[in-house]
Structure 1
């Protein structure tokens, strides 16, 4: 029987959902100059509004992963996309700092479960030699969002005002939630679009849990005592810290420090995110090919993870000391693009070391990543306000060293030992 390939259609749907999730995030940073002018907010105020999102988002990482394991990816993802789309639209109704902060925090709670749940879906729906490539769809969707986000958001703002942006993307998110509910299944064998040959291919070499077996809760005692568990979380704290400096402040940085107009900023801000998307796809494909050729997961994932952070930090340093705006954008593009090596390695490694509890492990990893998201906007705003943008960029660049050290301890070729 010729196998169907419906799993790759679902990979495209995952791409669209994570694309929307990051479009919804980047919209606020692009609208920041207009919102600051209308409401009289300072850079520190806007930093706290970004942090409000990340507080809610970080708090739901671990519960989101556990819910995906216990209730299934279908319902947890549908609820998450619906929730955050509603609060995206409600952002247009905010009228002061307090209402902005409350709406952004609730928006963050809705987005929290989506990446752990999607990672759990990939673990169950893709062959072991396809997981890094499938992760690339999830991550690249997220990173394509900021590629188009600045230009699309600026266009909508100039045509209809900043509030229209949040309403339009909120409605689009609800459409994707409906599509996921009808097409996604917790088990590929339950899907009418997956034939037996495709299901056999997916499950080749995979240990499938008995559907009638009692639901298991992640063994937190074993996880907390694992060096791997802490290492993958801490390296992701650094990785996301660097990325969220770009997400929160790149548009304003290009306008204030490099002298770009609003229209030119919308174009320039897309280059680093485009590079990140391309490198993420490339890494997933090459990583799966290396492992299929017999290279150990430890070598493949660790090499990409550590190398990405080293290149990102070095390029960010060069951006800070660049002599012209064009050179600055080039080095920023190389810096954020290099993180594609690390992002792909991180999510693939969370499946490698987490196994059937990869939702919990990836939730833990993304929790620490988004603690970086909580810290990055405010710390960067404070440093930029008191010491200038160059100092803020240099501090971000040197943080990469800690992440490189952590990668040595991740050891993706070994699942975390579960003691019964």
Structure 2
């Protein structure tokens, strides 16, 4: 099959699409769940945090597992796990059961993105990695575009529980497809032509597919390693404020009806999806044309956060509901440049250890996810929604500074005498 790697990229897109649909479903169903079980905003914030806690805890182990067992088994197993707990959300009947199920759901989703970064490293040419990463991220961001509208329609027709059952089943189907078609390496896939394999491997060094333990001692002493984690902590914190609270914010602060909220809440995610693909494509084209990775990644990453900060401030100050939606759309959309640059840069500086480096990066990003729901709930409850948005905007400044230290044109330096560097994995 011609260009089979891009068919797998589409499948990756569908997996991350379902993953984010599964996340946003709770946010959209929040008003009904709060009414049925008597939960308040702090309770819902805690439930969101339980997911992100489980998710964050599995980032680094997920990267290591993907390098040891391979992306094929890790992705398929993780998708099947989280889909089962998505379905079990419908059976939750108390705060405790919701908390346990959402935490275990988060553990299941944790390994997927680091494993996908490992897949991208192995299956795509060096000039395609940002574009391939955009398929991974694009699915995640398209999920919330359609999530509110689809979830609202299912809720109105069948009740909020139906949403979790339907998407749980869809996830199980995708897990099976990934295991059947996504071989560990393009070398072992019968659907990859000789020409495609030659193109994928052009410029790749000998021994890059040899399994080794990641040099964690070198990583932990690298300023690049810490910088890519810090900037992603800020980027994900901002994104998860939108994911966890945008539907309720539009209904409480901007007085949108449920139906109008379903439409308005999709706009920021639609622009984020478009700009993520655009940024990945432009970044790869720039590198292919000879532009340095520093310029193609760093300035995309930093500029996305700058625009996000300014637009969030203008959104907080807006007095008209739809003008507020416009600025929030620009704010979240601009992060498409940052997200695309982040995942491409983690491959640039991590190389064959892209799974471990992206796991580290996404671990810190989802520490932001742990804090975003509960911190935003506390600020909104005590000081109002405007204060919550302004606080989120100010945090972007930290991310801009961190991006200047990522240096994606320089792989993380590995000391020749490192205890951990170059140690083969024995099986």
Q: Could you say which TM-score interval applies, normalised by the shorter chain?
A: over 0.9
Partner residue of 1:251 out of 209, 223, 247 = 247
Q: Distance in 2 between matches of 1:353 and 1:146?
A: 30
Q: Distance in 2 between matches of 1:111 and 1:217?
A: 23
Equivalences, count: 416
Give secondary structure in 1 for the equivalent of 2:79.
helix
Residue 95 of structure 2 corresponds to which residue in structure 1?
97
Partner residue of 1:82 out of 80, 83, 98 = 80
Give secondary structure in 2 for the equivalent of 1:93.
coil
Post-superposition shift, 1:4? 2.2
Partner residue of 1:284 out of 280, 285, 294 = 280
Which deviates the most, 3-12 or 50-59? 3-12
Residue pair 2:349, 2:409 contacting (<8 A) in 1 also: yes
Post-superposition shift, 1:292? 0.6
TM-score, normalised with respect to structure 2 = 0.97
Post-superposition shift, 1:209? 2.5
Residue 49 of structure 1 corresponds to which residue in structure 2?
47
Q: Distance in 2 between matches of 1:66 and 1:148?
A: 32
Structure 2: stretches of 5+ with no match in the other structure: 417-427
Post-superposition shift, 1:210? 6.8
Residue 139 of structure 1 corresponds to which residue in structure 2?
137
Post-superposition shift, 1:206? 1.0
1:235 pairs with 2:225:
no
Partner residue of 1:5 out of 3, 6, 10 = 3
Aligned-residue RMSD, C-alpha: 0.8
Give secondary structure in 2 for the equivalent of 1:319.
helix
Residue pair 2:208, 2:352 contacting (<8 A) in 1 also: no
Residue 31 of structure 2 corresponds to which residue in structure 1?
33
Post-superposition shift, 1:269? 0.1
Residue 22 of structure 1 corresponds to which residue in structure 2?
20
Partner residue of 1:109 out of 107, 110, 117 = 107
1:175 pairs with 2:179:
no
TM-score, normalised with respect to structure 1 = 0.98
Partner residue of 1:387 out of 383, 407, 413 = 383
Q: CA offsets, 1:88-115, max 9 Å, x none?
A: 0000000000000000000000000000
Structure 1: stretches of 5+ with no match in the other structure: none
Residue 423 of structure 2 corresponds to which residue in structure 1?
none
1:224 pairs with 2:216:
no
Give secondary structure in 2 for the equivalent of 1:399.
helix
Residue 409 of structure 2 corresponds to which residue in structure 1?
413
1:363 pairs with 2:359:
yes
